[in-house]
Structure 1
Amino acid sequence: MKHRSLGIIILLILQFVLLTVISLGIFPQYQSWHGFDLQHYHRISLYLQQGLIPYRDFLLEYPPLALIPILLPQLLSPQVPLDGVDYAVGFVMVNLILTSLMGLGMALIPHPRPQQTLLGYLLLTVLLAPLLPWRYDLFPTLLTLGGLLGIIFNFPLLAGVALGLGIATKLYPVVLLPIWGLYFAVSRDWRGLGKLSLGAIVSTLLSCLPFWLLAGESFTSFLTYHKDRGLQIESLWAGLISLGHVLGLTEASSEMNFGAQHIVSPLAAPLLTLQPVIFVGMMLLIYGLAALVFRQEIRQSESIKLQSLVVFSLLSLLGFIVTNKVFSPQYLIWLLPFVPLLRWPAVTVVGVSFALTTTVSFVTRQLRLMYPPSVLMLNFRNLLLFGLVLSLLFSFYKKLSETPKKMSASHLANHTE
């Protein structure tokens, strides 16, 4: 037990040291690599310190609790307001701490080989280090990990509150709610389902209510902001259009709007129309298969396996990411609480996608100009993640289809003995 605890402590320290060293190495170049996002966060923090009301007095494209990680560097400094460089230093320091807290949370998850989980977490954070501490997505990701721990240790109200706070920070955790709700519903734990739902709904509403009262109708502007966006250049759909352009099958270019590069092509409008249909279909497929698998496991062992809960949580996030019209590089941060708990082949696939994402993100100009190697790397990354979704879905479908055969064979054997 001592050796196991020592190994966990060493891995956590090593993860923090490596991420810190990489961040220090990147910092001299942060203006060219991350300047746009950090300047935007810094500007928002200054607006807040001036007493301006978000949504009403200035545009905020994020849900209201995103203001917490954005404002934290200013609040933790004795000298406020910070200038742009000092704000960037504080922002990265806060995220380094959040990454270590996430590592501690991963160590709490019951696993026969916790060192393996933390080693996977270490490798993934290192691969994503050029992006990881430079975005605010670590904050909602830590909240989703808190929600997962709430379910594992049978605190459904805590899980719901953590999920609701995550939704009020980045919206994306809402896709986890059906999976976690199914976990309790299929188990016929109606009290747990009620607590999860109550925690998620109340915490989301209470987080948003003050801003809605202050900003009025302008509060929903962050929703319409994303609704009006086109195909972001790194999305699955834009990647296919870019590949078609490289192969001479269509014309394509890119333009900057909504704070990101978006694809311009005759194919963009038809794919924008098709995208919501495929997105809804994918999510329904994931939720439907989860319900069947959970029900099968309840029948067989009267409990749902932690691995199944983790994989379907990951699938809901991956399905959301790969079929969405926007695929910002930082979206992959959302996967960190779940991927290290998978088997190593799946961890490897995600790790390669992380490495490709950081590579593509730092050659955005080449991607914007449809430079063939960048387009191929982008499509390979998207294909890897989409293939992982299909592979995981097929493995569960195969498991479902094989179980009746095993039960029939067992039944026949009992009657012939």
Structure 2
Amino acid sequence: MMNRLRVTPGPVLALTVLWLATRALMLWLLTHSTAPLLGGGSVTREVWRLYFHWYGVLAHGSFPVHDTLWQYPPGAGAVLLAPGLLPGLTYFQAFVLLTLAVDAITTAALLRAGTRPGRSLLGAAVWTGGLPLLLHLPLARYDAEVTALAVLSLLASARSPRAGGVLGALGALVKMWPALVLLGVPRGRPTRRAWTWAAATGAVCFGLLAASLAHPLSFLREQGGRGVQIESLGGTALNLARHAGWRGRTRYRYGAIELTGPHVHAVATASLALTALAFGLLLLWRLRARHWSEATPYDAALSAVLLFTVTSRVISPQYMIWLIGLAAVCLTSRRTGQRPVAVLILAASALSTLVYPMYYREVIDGSWAGCLLMLARNGLLAVAAVLSFMRLWRDARPPAGETVPPVEPRPGSDRLPARALSSP
């Protein structure tokens, strides 16, 4: 233990300094966000206009109703109300401060995981250095908070499936996708504990939110009406089709730039079908997997979120925050098979910054530059998703000639029937 402690202070200190430097740069960019190359204020407008508007509605005891922009589970309301608890600050200042605090907690959790025996600090480095690739965007969206819950859920599950289930449920109540992080929990008792506690936590917290705020399910009406966002894979295909004579156009709907015109409904239906196919593949992996390592839950979470992201009708730039966080968790383990996937995610994140906010007008107009940027970004994500699942599938099978090691007997198991000891 003492030897390990002597080795880690240098890298940990370096990563701490890197975090301070990069977050200072992100804050500087935030204060200069009105520059044309930084989006002309469009990045920060989400907080001080939209989030603040929702805060006012929530503070009066109701979730937004008949608001096409409100597409989030009820837990999002708690996150958006939280800045109001900090006195003496504007809503925008409090929101950014809380986001920075959550970012610091995520970094600390990854550092702690990386300093354990047999683990790696590469995960903390990916989160610390990867998030600034998105410039100041992570400070002006609440996806950092959601990602923190997913990261903490995965890291906690290794020692306490109950805690992992609780944190996963809290994340799902805020933005749904963190429920996927429980996909790779080892079979048997860990799975039962994680999902039981997740279901109980979700039910209790939903009940509390429903009792505190009216119309907790109002978001469901708006989710179903979304079309094909210009940054999705389907949107990229349609944008390219413009150059082949397709007569579609862009329109601001549901808080995003969507494409309207002939065949858009067919593309949206195809996206939903691909999402269903992705779910089927993940379920098949879960049923056929026989080999679990410490990295399997992490790798499964990244693969699942990647597959659901690339098949989505919406691939907003803040989705990259999720993928960076999950890739970082994978890289805390030396046994992960997702290292090349993490590289592709970082490259896609850098391209996402070129897409939005830097050259978003090119993307909206459907110029060749905008189309090629989207093709490159989404191509990297598609390759990452396929590669991630292929590696997850491969790692779930024991190497040729190797059998799955027997389960370690639990205390008192000598009094159990032999059949009970043979379960995986």
Whether TM exceeds 0.5 here: the answer is yes
- Contact 2:324-2:345 within 8 A present in 1 as well: no
- Contact 1:12-1:118 within 8 A present in 2 as well: no
Q: Are 2:4 and 1:7 aligned? A: no
Match of 1:221 in 2: 218
Q: Are 2:161 and 1:152 aligned? A: no
- Contact 1:8-1:118 within 8 A present in 2 as well: no
Q: CA deviation digits over 1:333-370, x for unaligned, max 9?
A: 11233212345533221111001111101122221111
Q: Are 2:62 and 1:53 aligned? A: yes
Which structure has more helix as a fraction of its residues?
A: 1
Computed over aligned residues only, the root mean square deviation of the Cα atoms, in angstroms, reads 2.4
Q: Name the count of aligned residue pairs.
A: 382
Q: Which residue, out of 88, 94, 106, partners 1:90? A: 94
TM-score of the superposed pair, with normalisation by structure 2: 0.83
> What letter is aligned with 1:270?
A
Match of 1:258 in 2: 254
Q: Which consecutive aligned stretches of 4+ in structure 1 deviate over 6 angstroms post-superposition?
A: none
- Secondary structure of residue in 1 paired with 2:276: helix
Q: Which residue, out of 283, 288, 303, partners 1:287? A: 283
Q: Which residue, out of 322, 332, 339, partners 2:327? A: 339
- How far apart in 2 are the matches of 1:129 and 1:373? 21
Deviation at 1:162, TM superposition (A): 0.5
Q: Residues 9-408 of structure 1 correspond to what in structure 2 (within 5 A)?
A: 9-29=13-33, 32-38=41-47, 39-49=49-59, 51-55=60-64, 60-78=70-88, 82=90, 87-109=91-113, 110=116, 112=118, 114-153=120-159, 155-177=160-182, 179-180=183-184, 183-185=185-187, 188-189=188-189, 192-213=190-211, 218-246=215-243, 248=244, 250-293=246-289, 295=290, 297=291, 304-340=292-328, 341-342=330-331, 344-362=339-357, 363-398=359-394, 403-404=399-400, 406=401
> What letter is aligned with 1:36?
R
- Secondary structure of residue in 2 paired with 1:263: strand
Q: CA deviation digits over 1:260-304, x for unaligned, max 9?
A: 1101131211112222211111122123224433x1x2xxxxxx2
- Contact 2:341-2:388 within 8 A present in 1 as well: no
Q: CA deviation digits over 1:227-281, x for unaligned, max 9?
A: 11101111111111112223x1523311001111101131211112222211111
Deviation at 1:111, TM superposition (A): 6.5
> What letter is aligned with 1:201?
A
Distance 1:280 1:107, change over 3 A: same
- Contact 2:181-2:298 within 8 A present in 1 as well: no
Deviation at 1:103, TM superposition (A): 0.6
- Contact 2:364-2:370 within 8 A present in 1 as well: no
Distance 1:111 1:383, change over 3 A: farther
TM-score of the superposed pair, with normalisation by structure 1: 0.84
- How far apart in 2 are the matches of 1:352 and 1:212? 41
Deviation at 1:7, TM superposition (A): 1.7
In structure 2, runs of 5+ residues without a counterpart are 35-39, 332-337, 404-424
Deviation at 1:68, TM superposition (A): 2.8
Deviation at 1:57, TM superposition (A): 9.2
- How far apart in 1 are the matches of 2:67 and 2:240? 38
- How far apart in 1 are the matches of 2:267 and 2:170? 32
Distance 1:68 1:402, change over 3 A: closer
- Contact 1:147-1:162 within 8 A present in 2 as well: yes
